Amino acid sequence: MDLILSGDTGSCAVSLLKNKALPVGTLLAELVYVVEAQTPKQLQLTRFLPPTPLRLLMDRTGKNLAPQVEFESFNRQLNAVNRHTSSKLVNAVQADAHSMLQQAEPLVAAQAQQLIIDAQQQADLQLRRERERLEALKAVNPNIRDDELLALETQREQVLLNLHQANWRLDAIRLVVVSHQ
């Protein structure tokens, strides 16, 4: 199962979009990035930053159309392309596809950084509250040890450090070519 989920099979596709509102030959690149933190499981970072997909729908000019084009309705308009035709199309638009990927990088970086910053703020707030609760409990209960407080603070620092090192990766790409046939 891990091989299927992390392998390259199924992570790229070519489709035809039959939409008379767009000129024939219009090229779009639908890109799905995943923002995640690779850390030891005991830190439980997924409570603050679960693997999160970011979808971009790039045109040749570098504009991200994803906010205007909902995935499900877009997906219903697409038709699969056989392997032979896909290969020819990819070779024909390879330079444009690389350009679109480069144009997408700053866009996905900004979105991913915001997700990471939000996760850091949430983690910091939650772990600070846990420490404050434990400190308040220690004031009335002598059984709470200083090493428990220290362990909680160390965990908070490690969580924040590992969230700061979170990254994103391109998980899937779908090239879409407009056709009226």
Q: What is the mean predicted confidence (pLDDT) over 89-115? A: 95
Residue pair 161/37 in contact (Cβ under 8 Å)? The answer is no
Can you give the pLDDT at residue 40? 83
Give the Cα separation of 96 and 103 in Å (integer).
10
pLDDT at 10 over 80: no
Can you give the pLDDT at residue 37? 92
Q: What is the mean predicted confidence (pLDDT) over 6-15? A: 71
Give the Cα separation of 1 and 17 in Å (integer).
32
> pLDDT: is 114 or 10 the higher one?
114
Q: What is the mean predicted confidence (pLDDT) over 7-26? A: 82
What's the pLDDT tens digit per position in 72-97? 999 999 998 989 999 999 999 999 99
What's the pLDDT tens digit per position in 142-181? 898 999 999 999 999 999 999 999 999 999 999 999 987 7
Can you give the pLDDT at residue 6? 56
CA 29, 117, 38, 47 torsion-angle sign: negative
Can you give the pLDDT at residue 21? 87
pTM: 0.86
User: Would you kindly state where each structural domain of the chain is located, as residue ranges?
Assistant: 2-179
What's the pLDDT tens digit per position in 115-142? 999 999 999 999 999 999 999 999 999 8
Distances from the Cα of 50 to the Cα of 27, 34, 78, angstroms: 32, 10, 29
Can you give the pLDDT at residue 4? 47
Beta strands in 52-159 (DSSP E): 52-59, 78-80
